[in-house]
Amino acid sequence: MRGEQSALSPRGPEAELLHGLTWLLSLGGAVIFLLTMLLLVLALTGRARWLASPRVMVMLGAVLPTIVLIALFAHSTGIVSALGRVVGAPLVIEVVARQFWWEVRYPEQGIVTANEIRLPVGRQAELRVTSPDVIHALWIPALHGKIDMIPGRENRLRLTAGEAGTWRGQCAEFCGSQHTLMALFAVAQPPAEFEAWAARQRAAPVPESAGRAVFARAGCGACHTVRGTEFSGRIGPDLTLIGTRQSLGAGTLENHRDTLLQWVSSPQRVKPGNAMPDFRGVLSDDELREVAEWLENLR
């Protein structure tokens, strides 16, 4: 699976603002620490008796810290204001965190997907995030800081991808046994490619195959939706065009036919504690391969 995950490699204007603030605080803190250690050494060796002057103590102990803190407060307030600014007409994306995967909705386009956020380069996106179970947090370091996802509350985060690319995100709030395997990918595309992806999602072609019949017979549609079919479950991820996604199991496996077979057969072995039961022993090896092949061809 591709996808850089680093707060030190910003790929959008919001991430660049936070990156600049990180360096300012880090370098400023280092300078203040070194200066403090230098003054401490001078004081202990008796080489700077002037440090005992009340005026110097007031200047270094009260006036200078006050000036520095006021300057940092003003600078960070400006950054917070810039991060909350609406630019143009943002693309609204609803992200719902669940144990242990992500549901991603595009209400304006009528698209629902999972574990992947598609973004048009240069257009601001407004992520409206929430959770139906426990507290989660969404963090895509290359694009923005983290935001909490709290049951019963909708929080909002605005971000912009400055270039095309794929970046890994992560749940950044402990949410249960598979917290560490709750990742997602942000995929930024040129606007024309994003529109083509959206049109493909809306069309949602569904090939006929033996795997579709096995999928129906096994009751998979009780948990999963595949648009354009009779399957309309809402417990598990929407599987419409699952073959186009970067990963399976919220970043646990790369997405191809072999890993689809592995996931359908033994999801509890791959990611213990997730809500999907194992189907090895329920379906034959041939039936498992047919389901994996059908899902892989949903693209």
Predicted model pTM: 0.90
Mean pLDDT of the region 114-123: 98
State yes or no: pLDDT of 3 exceeds 80: no
State yes or no: pLDDT of 1 exceeds 80: no
Q: What is the pLDDT of residues 30-45, one digit of tens each?
A: 999 999 899 888 888 8
Mean pLDDT of the region 116-134: 97
Mean pLDDT of the region 63-84: 93
State yes or no: pLDDT of 287 exceeds 80: yes
Task: List where CATH 2.60.40.420 sits in the chain.
Answer: 1-188, 210-296
Mean pLDDT of the region 185-210: 94
pLDDT of 4: 84
Instruction: Name the least confident of 55-59, 162-166, 193-197.
Output: 55-59
Task: Give DSSP secondary structure letters for the chain.
Answer: ---B--TTS--SHHHHHHHHHHHHHHHHHHHHHHHHHHHHHHHHHTS-GGGG-HHHHHIIIIIHHHHHHHHHHHHHHHHHHHHT---SSPEEEEEEEETTEEEEEETTTTEEEESEEEEETTS-EEEEEEBSSS-EEEE-TTT---EEE-BT--EEEEE---SSEEEEEEE-S--STTGGG-EEEEEEE-HHHHHHHHHHHHH------HHHHHHHHTTGGGT-B-TTSS-B--SS---TTGGGSSEETTTTEE-SHHHHHHHHH-HHHHSTT-SPPP-BTTB-HHHHHHHHHHHHT--
Q: What is the pLDDT of residues 228-259, one digit of tens each?
A: 999 999 999 999 999 999 999 999 999 999 99
pLDDT of 48: 75
Mean pLDDT of the chain: 94
CATH classification code of 210-296: 2.60.40.420
> How much of the chain exceeds pLDDT 70, in percent?
99
State yes or no: pLDDT of 2 exceeds 80: no
Instruction: Name the least confident of 47-61, 152-166, 169-183.
Output: 47-61
CATH number for domain 1-188, candidates 2.60.40.420, 1.10.3720.10, 3.90.870.30, 2.40.50.140 = 2.60.40.420
pLDDT of 262: 96
Mean pLDDT of the region 175-180: 95
Position with higher pLDDT, 115 vs 84: 115
Position with higher pLDDT, 39 vs 184: 184
Q: What is the pLDDT of residues 139-158, one digit of tens each?
A: 999 999 999 999 999 999 99
Res. 60 pLDDT band, cuts 50 70 90: confident
